[in-house]
Chains A and B, each alone.
Chain A
Amino acid sequence: MPKVKYSQKHEWISVEDGVGTIGITDYAQGQLGDVVFVELPEVGQRLDKGAEAAVIESVKAASEVYAPASGQVTEVNESLADDPAQVNADALGEGWFFKIALADPADLDDLMDAHAYAEYVKGL
């Protein structure tokens, strides 16, 4: 099983073989409401941990998605352009945003595990 970790900004990252798949959490999609548009990074783009990587829009709000770890973008989820509703329907699966080749696995150390994130969300 790949290791999934969560950020305080409500991104998740799932790592397998040095490549992290990144999306937003179910809690985040619920807060945003119906997602209508997603602006993704470019493949090849280098992202620093904490940098703005994508933008997610609902009808009345736009939010930034931040890179939970540093690395180079290897793939983006092109299907979100035609069907952004996947983010609402399956935030942790089909609704993923982009993948990065991790620059430093230690970037994940300060992220939360599923239990810690669930507790964090309860406190919001």
Chain B
Amino acid sequence: MRYLPLTDDDRRRMLAAIGVESVDDFFRDVPESARLKEPVDLPRHSSEMEVERVFTRMAAKNLSPDTVPSFLGAGAYRHHVPAAVDHLIQRGEFLTAYTPYQPEISQGTLQCMFEFQTQVALITGMDVANASMYDGATACSEAVMMATRINNRAKVVLSGGLHPHYRDVTATMGRFLGLDIVAAAPDWQGKENPARLVDGETACLVVQNPGFFGHLRDLRPLADACHGKGALLVAVVTEPLSLGIVESPGAMGADIVAGEGQSLGNALNFGGPTVGLLAVRQKYLRQIPGRLVGQTVDTDGRRGYVLTLSTREQHIRREKATSNICTNSGLCALAFSIHLTLLGEQGFVSLARLNHARAVTLADKLAALKGVEVINETFFNEFTLSLPKPAAAVAEALAGMGVFGGVPASRLDPERSELEPLLLVAATETASPADIDGYVGALRQVL
């Protein structure tokens, strides 16, 4: 078997050196009744070719957004990932390294994480960022738990513009921790004022910008309202590319930023793995969950990096840790960082402008179709359509014609009938002018 170096002769010699007859001797502590005598009921080993055949067949049963015009978003965005990114993250020194517990032989990972933390802090406008969380939804729930620790309050207000998965993950976590989670109704019109739900008992208000339905929002009045009540403002960003042209949450007064980093450097992967972002004000540093890399010097006085402030973490603090997180999204964070390094300020801003321009073009063309209404006055690269037919059926019909036209809002909140006609439509740089025209034509036909 190709992954196993020991030969039968090796095994014999090793058993002899140990002084036992058979490997069965090593399993003598296992209760007799639980020792399997035969391999379990699964197929026997396979060659690379055989495995590849099965995978190719499974992949062929899917319709890849690479092959058709795609306007899907709702928290996961298809962007072009430069070839260098995927090459570099497959280097064995990154791919097969462990968490950098031995800093002398982990400076590569550690410096990359230090650069990642800085990039995240810069684009979010915050003081410090951690070395990543699992994904945006869990970053959001960790931000909420962090807020409740900071001001020792239990009420949490979730805006109706928050991604339903983020809302649901936070609600699950909150239920087990005894938090009072107040979730506003889906704000598809972009008209809510969640500040009215914030009171003196509130730990934090969670607001997403751009919102789930695409609306942009000035966070400053919300930050003021929160701070006036002693609450924190948690800003969620599911499309980090928006930060290229939209004012950062930090500049608008957010205390904690939780985000999804998939857009940069990472494939869609059917939703995972991705990379959660978490950035905070300096004063909340000791309450941040997850790993942090800090700069220091070695015994020769040379600059180097280490994992630091580890006493916040589970491997030291056990049940008193700030979170139970251990493994994070290291390699996805690396992909994020490499992509952002390639883009640089100029590329990041230009890419954001390009996305916005494509989305504006698409919105204007779709708005001209009979019966179609673009709900949004403001958006970045995603907006909401109101259709004369149920959006789920329209999306299905469009897929049948070879166009992924958007995500029906009802897919995430099926019990809310007011969402039935709504379709979330995203246009990134991957939507060419021809794709846009193809979509407009297809939608005209379907309606």
A residues in contact (CB < 8 Å) with B: 37, 39, 57-62
Q: How far is the CA of A60 from the CA of B307 in the complex (A)?
A: 11
Collect the chain A residues with CB atoms within 8 Å of residue B1's CB: none
Top 9 closest pairs, chain A to chain B, by CB: A62-B311, A57-B311, A62-B317, A62-B316, A60-B316, A61-B316, A60-B310, A61-B311, A59-B310
Chain B, range 290-323, C-beta contacts under 8 Å to A = 310-311, 316-317, 320
Q: How far is the CA of A23 from the CA of B316 in the complex (A)?
A: 23
Chain B contributes a number of interface residues (CB within 8 A of A) equal to 6
Chain B binding surface SS class: helix
A-B contact pairs, 16 of them (CB 8 A): A37-B286, A37-B311, A39-B286, A57-B311, A58-B311, A59-B310, A59-B311, A60-B310, A60-B311, A60-B316, A61-B311, A61-B316, A62-B311, A62-B316, A62-B317, A62-B320
Collect the chain A residues with CB atoms within 8 Å of residue B310's CB: 59-60
Q: How far is the CA of A94 from the CA of B311 in the complex (A)?
A: 24
Q: How far is the CA of A60 from the CA of B286 in the complex (A)?
A: 15
Collect the chain B residues with CB atoms within 8 Å of residue A39's CB: 286
Residue of A nearest to B313 (CB): A62
Task: From B311, B317, B320, name the one whose CB has the most chain A CB atoms within 10 angstroms.
Answer: B311
Q: How far is the CA of A58 from the CA of B320 in the complex (A)?
A: 16
Question: How distant is B408 from chain A, measured CB to nearest CB, in Å?
Answer: 49
Collect the chain A residues with CB atoms within 8 Å of residue B316's CB: 60-62
Collect the chain A residues with CB atoms within 8 Å of residue B311's CB: 37, 57-62
Question: How distant is A83 from chain B, measured CB to nearest CB, in Å?
Answer: 17
Q: How far is the CA of A51 from the CA of B161 in the complex (A)?
A: 43
Residue of B nearest to A63 (CB): B311
Q: How far is the CA of A39 from the CA of B320 in the complex (A)?
A: 14
Question: How distant is A124 from chain B, measured CB to nearest CB, in Å?
Answer: 22
Question: Known contacts A39-B286, A61-B311; can you find 14 more A-B pairs with CB under 8 A?
Answer: A37-B286, A37-B311, A57-B311, A58-B311, A59-B310, A59-B311, A60-B310, A60-B311, A60-B316, A61-B316, A62-B311, A62-B316, A62-B317, A62-B320
Collect the chain B residues with CB atoms within 8 Å of residue A57's CB: 311
Q: How far is the CA of A57 from the CA of B286 in the complex (A)?
A: 12
Question: How distant is A122 from chain B, measured CB to nearest CB, in Å?
Answer: 29
